[in-house]
Amino acid sequence: MKIELDRERCEGHGICEVAAPAFFSLDDDGDLTVLRDDVSDGDIPSVQAAALGCPVAALLLE
């Protein structure tokens, strides 16, 4: 599974960072960085929670 971020949609709410801090980080300006884009089986639940929790659907999991 891979993570894709739609930077145009992202509004910096930070829900993804709370759900999966090993994968997402917001800077002081609210810009999101995907720290890792390859998701192992054990990390799927937290990354899915991050994507589903995004209020603007800025995260896509493939």
Question: What is the CATH classification number for the domain harbouring 27?
Answer: 3.30.70.20
Tokens 């599974």, located at residue: 1
pTM of the predicted protein model: 0.90
Give me the residues paired with residue 34 across strands.
24
Asked whether the beta carbons of 46 and 16 are under 8 A apart, the reply is no
Mean pLDDT over 32-60 rounds to 96
Domain with 19 in it: 3-61
Q: Strand (E) positions, the chain?
A: 3-5, 24-26, 32-34, 59-61
Other CB atoms within 10 A of residue 1 CB: 13
Q: What confidence category does residue 42 fall into, taking pLDDT thresholds of 50, 70 and 90?
A: very high
Domain count, the chain: 1
Does 48 score more than 90 pLDDT?
yes
Question: pLDDT averaged over the chain?
Answer: 96
Does 37 score more than 90 pLDDT?
no
